[in-house]
Structure 1
Amino acid sequence: MVKRPGLAVYLAAQKLRGRARARARLDKGVAAGVEDADRGFERLGRSEVPRPDGPLVWLHAGNEGEALGFPELIDRLLEERDDLNVLVTTAAHDPTHPLEARLPSSVILQYAPYDYASGAEAFLAHWQPDLCLWSENRFEPGLIDGAARRGCELILMDARVPDRTGVRWVRGIRRSTLHHFRHVLAGDDNAAKGLQALGVDPDKIEMTGFLQEGIAPLPCSQAERDMLAEELAARPVWLAACVSGDEIRMVEMVHQRVIRRSHRLLLILVPEDKSKGPEIATALKDAGWVVGLRSVEDEPEPEVEIFVADMPDEMGLWYRLAPVSFMGGTFSGGPVRNPYEAAALGSAVLFGPAHGPWGESYGRLQDAGAARSVVDQESLAWSLELLLSPEKVAEMAAAAWEVTTNGAEATDRVVELAIEALDRKGV
């Protein structure tokens, strides 16, 4: 293919800017705390990890939150081909995200290089990927063009309409960059239409949905779950999952308001810091609540209004028992849990404006009707009152189930195309 002028100009400019510009960008990022000082050399295209022998599949996401479907996809690829080496790159530094812990130990996790010619060329020369599975919404034209020139087949998955950022997207760059992808797997119908409008060959586009976020349902004792479910009987229940700081007072005030209309309503309050359970329970009792405390073997008996669940590793139990879960940390800015934990167990999700590393997940669940965003105490109370309707919460629970399972088709299709690509290359 003859490159369009926009892409040719961009690639020439990146060569002129060179290594000094990349170094300056890295230094600025380290100073701002958005780059990893200990691994900054990876952003310049270098690596301390040798390229393993054998075929190498390279998966790329813009940030670790966008790579939530990678663990399940990688597991499936390795089931099909146990000789594969897998490299995962992200463009953003996020030390709080648990992606590394969720990947197989054999997977190599690196930061992607900046899209300057020297870094992109050094990265590609070192890793020599046989196949690239790209899921970032922003593209790096030099990196993608360089991979294609080296004979690396590229597949765009979880595809959305790419970001348009400043002067870098001069005329022709997006279309030329998208041309390098052999297959474009759109996340939804709007993305499929938008990508076609950008010039992607309609024959390349498939509307598959987003990758399956392979989070295994959190475990619990089935006997314990059955016993508590029987004890709760038909009581309405909501969960405040891992709340801290001012959130505890906020959920108390919300509960105080909503219980006036639903007198048997039970709040299960899970503190972020489990050691503070007794302290929280005492403060609630002093405020006039009837409180149960899990760590002293209390039960959520009919008269209990707030049950403080302060034992570790029991989130799977509480998500199963609560039709509605408010995700802690989404107001306080503290640690935020993956909302798919709740959604996968049939609990409708309420969340505030702070998403931690899970912004993509909260957005997908909200778009699917499985989660609702709230902005303050008033809107949290209103949403909770709405979800006390069995019909409404059942509707959201069904949407949660659908969105947590429908990614299997997209994952299946990526695996199929990846194996075909490797077979075509003879590796």
Structure 2
Amino acid sequence: MARGPALALALYLAARKARGRARAEKLLRQEMKAGREDASRGAERLGASDLARPEGPLVWLHVGSEAEALGVPELIDRLREERDDLGVLITTARHGPDELLVARLPRDVVLQSAPYGVGPGAEWFVAHWRPDVAIWADNHLEPSLIEAAHGAGVPMFLIDARVPDRPGWRWLPGLRRALLARFSHVLAGDTRSAEGLRALGVPADRIEALGFLQEGGAPLPCSQAERDTLAELLAARPVWLAAGATPGEVPMIVAAHQQAMRRAHRLLLLLVPDPLESGAELAKDLEAGGWVVGLRSQEDEPEPELEIFVADLPDELGLWYRLSPVSLMGGTLLGASGFGVRNPYEAAALGSAVLFGPHLGLWRESYTRLREAGAARAVTDTESLARAVEHLLAPDHVAEMAAAAWEVTTSGAEATDRVVTLVLDALDARGL
């Protein structure tokens, strides 16, 4: 007979299974009526899918919500650098109105809603997809889904882990302990979480405190020779960058630059317009307004007399982020059409302090995380933008933000690398 934690898990699963598919279908109808489920994807909540399993080895990543899956695209890129034959399936337990994750993923990644924990959906899901490795990145441990994967012999890793909290489980105190035992290895988000997980029975040799997955992608490239030449031209001159500024934002940015120049008259604005093709016309308009302007596409250089340098050549943002200690992310002040708001980790990964407005598009969670870490600062209008630029003219202020940006963008590299190693070792052990 099952005892202790195993008994708690068996009792819980028995109760959930007894409710059967009818209960799952009723739950789905309730959620769709409340507007919390997409009717076109409802079958996924019952463990069904019209999609075929990808050929070859399949890695399954389960996340709590799309907004929480900030490190998943980077992990997928790293996995495929090592094994380009890997198929990837991602399930989300909860989702909001914005499809944040799908826009960042390779097109061949399969994104599904996780099946409900009642009825046979979890078992159907595992039988259909037949994952070879499972990576669980959700602090809510769903017993039915975890047990179905374990029963199918799928090696599972718990990452970004904290102590799981499910108040409804208090009547079965061994449930968390039993579920944690199903994971071959656990990567805790911090030392405190690791201690709590060990107290719940995770053996010391199966847990590591390595932080959360790395966010953002590889730093944008640039020509080192070009960077060195421009850095010499700029010398000790104060510089700030507006990256991907939309036409409606340009007057606000220029007005903020004019105000900030009262404190630092040698301040240079590097202005990367969106679209880039508008650069020549923009430079003409700025000159008509009395500004001393240079234009990159005309082979101008940021000479000492320039006040605004319009950088309108493609594929050079990596260069400008490296040269500017402060970057305003274009599209965030007034909003950008489509997916035009830029990823803030582009700037943060290259040591540039990030300024951003209220319109964050697909990158809302990324901007929030950088702000909470002290690596980014929110602005709302011309006045607050000018004040932020003036504040960051002080070397100690901008250095503090740049250091925080570096810490956020690099702290997860070790965790990401470790997950890649665990997955590859698991596949090797299965002969895949």
* Length-normalised TM-score, structure 2: 0.80
The offset of 1:388, in angstroms, is: 1.3
- Aligned amino acid, residue 109 of structure 2: I
1:113 aligns with 2:118: no
User: 1:178-206, CA deviations, whole angstroms, 9 ceiling, x for partnerless residues?
Assistant: 55434331223454466568x46373542
Instruction: Decide which moves more: 320-329 or 179-188.
Output: 179-188
The offset of 1:391, in angstroms, is: 2.8
Partner of 1:258: 260
Q: 1:251 to 1:100 in 2, by over 3 A?
A: closer
The offset of 1:318, in angstroms, is: 1.4
User: 1:300 & 1:80 partners in 2: Cα distance?
Assistant: 42
Partner of 1:3: 8
Question: Does the CA contact (< 8 Å) of 2:66 and 2:99 recur in 1?
Answer: no
Q: 1:278 to 1:77 in 2, by over 3 A?
A: closer
1:56 aligns with 2:96: no
User: 1:337-385, CA deviations, whole angstroms, 9 ceiling, x for partnerless residues?
Assistant: 1111112222111223433222333344334433233455444333322
1:337 aligns with 2:339: no
- Aligned amino acid, residue 46 of structure 1: A
The offset of 1:264, in angstroms, is: 0.6
User: 1:299 & 1:235 partners in 2: Cα distance?
Assistant: 14
User: 1:174 & 1:377 partners in 2: Cα distance?
Assistant: 51
Pick one of 149, 152, 165 that aligns with 1:150.
152
Q: 1:17 to 1:402 in 2, by over 3 A?
A: same
- Aligned amino acid, residue 202 of structure 2: D
Question: Does the CA contact (< 8 Å) of 1:7 and 1:176 recur in 2?
Answer: no
Partner of 1:122: 124
Instruction: Give the unaligned 5+ runs of structure 1.
Output: none
* SS state at 1:337 partner: coil
User: 2:176 & 2:103 partners in 1: Cα distance?
Assistant: 31
Q: 1:372 to 1:170 in 2, by over 3 A?
A: farther
Q: 1:82 to 1:229 in 2, by over 3 A?
A: closer
User: 1:27 & 1:13 partners in 2: Cα distance?
Assistant: 21
Instruction: Decide which moves more: 15-24 or 89-98.
Output: 89-98
User: 1:326 & 1:400 partners in 2: Cα distance?
Assistant: 14
Q: 1:267 to 1:44 in 2, by over 3 A?
A: farther
The offset of 1:54, in angstroms, is: 5.0
User: 1:215-264, CA deviations, whole angstroms, 9 ceiling, x for partnerless residues?
Assistant: 22222333433333232222111111112255333322322221111111
Instruction: Decide which moves more: 233-242 or 222-231.
Output: 222-231
1:303 aligns with 2:305: yes
1:22 aligns with 2:28: yes
1:388 aligns with 2:393: yes
Pick one of 274, 279, 292 that aligns with 1:290.
292
Q: CA RMSD in A?
A: 3.7
1:413 aligns with 2:418: yes
The offset of 1:57, in angstroms, is: 2.0
User: 2:67 & 2:188 partners in 1: Cα distance?
Assistant: 18
Instruction: Decide which moves more: 50-59 or 261-270.
Output: 50-59
Q: Give the paired residue count.
A: 418
1:270 aligns with 2:272: yes
- Aligned amino acid, residue 113 of structure 1: A
* SS state at 2:8 partner: coil
Question: Does the CA contact (< 8 Å) of 1:323 and 1:393 recur in 2?
Answer: yes
User: 2:143 & 2:357 partners in 1: Cα distance?
Assistant: 36
* SS state at 1:369 partner: coil
The offset of 1:99, in angstroms, is: 5.6
User: 1:108-133, CA deviations, whole angstroms, 9 ceiling, x for partnerless residues?
Assistant: 32222342534433321201223210
- Aligned amino acid, residue 354 of structure 1: H
Partner of 1:372: 377
Partner of 1:228: 230
User: 1:29-50, CA deviations, whole angstroms, 9 ceiling, x for partnerless residues?
Assistant: 5xx8x8494x665455333443
User: 1:263-312, CA deviations, whole angstroms, 9 ceiling, x for partnerless residues?
Assistant: 11111122233344345445444544333333444433322222232333
Q: 1:180 to 1:299 in 2, by over 3 A?
A: same
**What are the equivalent positions in structure 2 for 1:83-102 lying under 5 Å apart?**
84-91=86-93, 92=95
1:350 aligns with 2:355: yes
Instruction: Decide which moves more: 269-278 or 167-176.
Output: 167-176
- Aligned amino acid, residue 404 of structure 1: T
- Aligned amino acid, residue 114 of structure 2: P
Percent of pairs with identical residues? 58
User: 1:152 & 1:379 partners in 2: Cα distance?
Assistant: 52
Question: Does the CA contact (< 8 Å) of 2:216 and 2:345 recur in 1?
Answer: no
1:46 aligns with 2:48: yes
Q: 1:344 to 1:120 in 2, by over 3 A?
A: same
The offset of 1:65, in angstroms, is: 5.1
Instruction: Give the unaligned 5+ runs of structure 2.
Output: 1-5
User: 2:105 & 2:251 partners in 1: Cα distance?
Assistant: 33
Question: Does the CA contact (< 8 Å) of 2:180 and 2:202 recur in 1?
Answer: no
Partner of 2:318: 316
Q: 1:128 to 1:232 in 2, by over 3 A?
A: same
